[in-house]
A and B are shown apart, each in its own frame.
Chain A
Amino acid sequence: DAGITQSPRHKVTETGTPVTLRCHQTENHRYMYWYRQDPGHGLRLIHYSYGVKDTDKGEVSDGYSVSRSKTEDFLLTLESATSSQTSVYFCAIKQDTTDTQYFGPGTRLTVL
């Protein structure tokens, strides 16, 4: 499972509140990614990181920010959650030797 954990696994919050999701990896991978999964859209990239403090936007980055102060942790923050951000969020790492991404178990977020 590539040593990826996500926390929390489930969260219900209210519109306008800040939310932070955490992705933790144990294998020192350089590349980490945040995706959201919505029916009919597959997975869409929110933000990604290619090293400590090196991050960039994906295709659906509006309303999200990220931080990576340590190799093992990649945080996704919703500054002011909206109902359109209700989704399942997946973190992934890329294994450099195989150019393959492996995914965490996901976080189900509901914004009321």
Chain B
Amino acid sequence: AQSVTQLGSHVSVSEGALVLLRCNYSSSVPPYLFWYVQYPNQGLQLLLKYTSAATLVKGINGFEAEFKKSETSFHLTKPSAHMSDAAEYFCAAANAGGTSYGKLTFGQGTILTVHP
């Protein structure tokens, strides 16, 4: 079964510093991969996705992620953190192809704190 692991339940950075949120998946076949962001008391918003096209994916709000098959990773980065980036971030995977009905498996989430 597919699993997704996010390393670090809490990450704290200073404003202007690099943001790096880690995500690893377990699948023999590269899945579709997604990063979602959740602001307090809100739903999930799609940041970016990888669906077997370019391995470096750019998303909204200056975030990007790189798919690395050899490392089974899909880490999320942003060069310079803003206070408004403080939120919880979720990595998720879906089996590529039509037989899985698009079901998502989520990581446990990483809470990002940005200090002034």
Contact = CB atoms under 8 A, between A and B. Distances in A.
Interface stretch (B64-72, B77-85, B100-108): B100-108
A102 B34 CA distance: 11
A94 interface: yes
Given A43-B106, A44-B106, A90-B43, A31 B32 contact: no
A99 B90 contact: no
A33 B45 CA distance: 16
B104 A43 contact: yes
A103 interface: yes
Interface in B30-53: 32, 34, 36, 42-46, 49, 51
Q: Which bracket fits the contact residues of A?
A: 20 to 34
Given A43-B90, A43-B104, A106 B43 contact: yes
A31 B101 CA distance: 8
A40 B111 CA distance: 11
A56 B104 contact: no
A98 B34 CA distance: 12
B42 A100 contact: no
Interface in A44-79: 44-45, 48, 50, 56, 58
B94 interface: yes
Nearest to B106: A42
A102 B43 CA distance: 9
B46 A42 contact: no
Contact of A48 (B44, B51, B103): B103
Interface of A: 31, 33, 35, 40-45, 48, 50, 56, 58, 90, 92, 94, 98-106
18 contacts: A40-B9, A42-B4, A42-B6, A42-B107, A43-B92, A43-B106, A50-B101, A56-B101, A94-B102, A99-B32, A99-B51, A99-B94, A99-B102, A100-B49, A101-B34, A102-B46, A103-B36, A103-B43
Interface of B: 4, 6, 9, 32, 34, 36, 42-46, 49, 51, 90, 92, 94, 101-109
Given A40-B108, A45-B105, 9 more contacts: A42-B4, A42-B108, A43-B44, A43-B104, A48-B101, A56-B101, A100-B46, A101-B102, A104-B43
